[in-house]
């Protein structure tokens, strides 16, 4: 299969567990020590640059996953195993308890934030002179945080006690704003023109409830920071969700490895920037090099605007080589 299209940008996303794999560092050691975390964040990209030509990295940051957001409201996170962090249960047991939740009086002392601040201070003091130190928080969408805190009961609450759910979501929205403001205070930087979100559970809402219980709260955060451009990584959407997001003013939608959407769906429905990622497991980890390239060519033929795949541990190097080789044909 040959496609004449050119000018297709591409990238490879590398999560910390892959950097740890290449550095030979257990994940629990990465999360436990700021020097180890910083070393992995710099050495991992260097190793991948030498092997595959991927970009070097010139920044570091405390990295405790997007679960940091939920941790400020009671979510416990397990960092003790040699795998990415995982939540330990759902701390909120009822809609009433959810509605009674409040933003912490001092977000500096909430959840994982003190450890992040400790790691940040260390990195500022010990990072090489040409390396920038970042600090982020609050990008997780309120609905995703709600599901992590409340579990599947959240979706039942929407039908049984919608008023309580809105109180819950408003608290989560205010908390996300507070975490973003904390990051700006810590780094001394100002909000830019773009506000980005991660909202992997938002698509579990049916389209007729999506705006009321999800999009309106994301827009509230964007409006608080005066964003002129809104971007989102969100999975589990269906076709109607795409139209809702576009009509609500989103500028860029990354649907990740959404099992319910295809490149053709996005090409047909969207006139904004969008991205469908290659599937990490099925189309990279478990594929042959020839299959990797076949999938890439088909996605471009179907109308992909850009191409991205996220690595995971144990991906065969020859599959990464195959992705890069075909990607360069379409640059």
Q: What is the pLDDT along the chain (331 residues), one digit of tens a residue?
A: 455 678 999 999 999 999 999 999 999 999 999 999 999 999 999 999 999 999 999 999 999 999 999 999 999 999 998 889 999 999 999 999 999 999 999 999 999 999 999 999 999 999 999 999 999 988 999 999 999 999 999 999 999 999 999 999 999 999 999 999 999 999 999 898 999 999 999 999 999 999 999 999 999 999 999 999 999 999 999 999 999 999 999 999 999 999 999 999 999 999 999 999 999 999 999 999 999 999 999 999 999 999 999 999 999 999 999 999 999 999 9
**Assigned domain for 217 exists:** yes
**Assigned domain for 123 exists:** no
**Assigned domain for 204 exists:** yes
* The pLDDT of residue 312: 97
Residues 103-140: b if buried by 16+ CB within 10 A, e if exposed? bbeebeebbbbebbbebbebbeeebeeeeebebbbbbb
Which range of residues forms the domain containing residue 234? 191-258
How many folded domains does the chain comprise?
A: 1
**Assigned domain for 222 exists:** yes
Identify the CA nearest to 67 among candidates 57, 78, 83: 78
**Assigned domain for 209 exists:** yes
**Assigned domain for 81 exists:** no
**Assigned domain for 26 exists:** no
Q: Alpha-carbon distance 306 to 300, whole Å? A: 8
Q: Alpha-carbon distance 105 to 9, whole Å? A: 44
**Assigned domain for 215 exists:** yes
Report the residue count for the chain.
331
Query: What predicted TM-score, i.e. pTM, was given to this entire model?
Result: 0.95
* The pLDDT of residue 4: 60
């Amino acid at each position: 299969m040959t496609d004449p299209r050119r000018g297709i940008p591409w990238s490879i996303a590398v999560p910390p567990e892959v950097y740890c794999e290449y550095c030979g560092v257990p994940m629990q050691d990465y999360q436990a020590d700021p020097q180890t975390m910083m070393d992995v964040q710099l050495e991992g990209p260097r190793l991948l640059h030498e092997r595959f030509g991927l970009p070097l990295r010139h920044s570091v940051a405390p990295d405790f996953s997007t679960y940091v957001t939920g941790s400020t409201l009671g979510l416990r996170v397990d960092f003790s195993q040699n795998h990415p962090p995982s939540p330990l249960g759902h701390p909120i047991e009822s809609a009433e308890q959810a509605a009674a939740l409040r933003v912490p009086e001092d977000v500096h002392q909430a959840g994982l934030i003190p450890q992040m601040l400790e790691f940040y201070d260390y990195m500022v003091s010990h990072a090489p002179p040409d390396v920038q130190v970042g600090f982020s928080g609050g990008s997780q969408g309120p609905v995703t945080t709600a599901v992590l805190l409340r579990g599947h009961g959240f979706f039942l609450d929407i039908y049984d006690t919608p008023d309580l759910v809105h109180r819950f979501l408003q608290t989560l929205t205010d908390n996300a704003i507070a975490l973003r403001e904390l990051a700006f205070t810590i780094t001394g930087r100002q909000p830019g023109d773009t506000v980005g979100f991660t909202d992997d559970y938002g698509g579990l809402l049916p389209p007729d409830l999506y705006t009321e219980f999800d999009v309106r709260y994301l827009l509230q955060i964007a409006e608080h920071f005066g964003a002129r451009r809104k971007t989102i990584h969100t999975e589990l959407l269906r076709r109607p969700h795409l139209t809702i997001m576009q009509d609500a003013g989103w500028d860029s939608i990354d649907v990740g490895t959404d099992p319910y959407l295809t490149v053709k769906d996005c090409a047909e429905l969207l006139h904004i920037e969008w991205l469908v990622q290659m599937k990490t497991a099925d189309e990279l980890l478990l594929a042959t090099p020839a299959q990797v390239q076949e999938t890439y060519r088909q996605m471009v033929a179907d109308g992909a605007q850009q191409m991205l795949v996220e690595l995971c541990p144990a991906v065969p190097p020859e599959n990464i080589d195959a992705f890069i080789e075909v990607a360069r044909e379409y640059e």
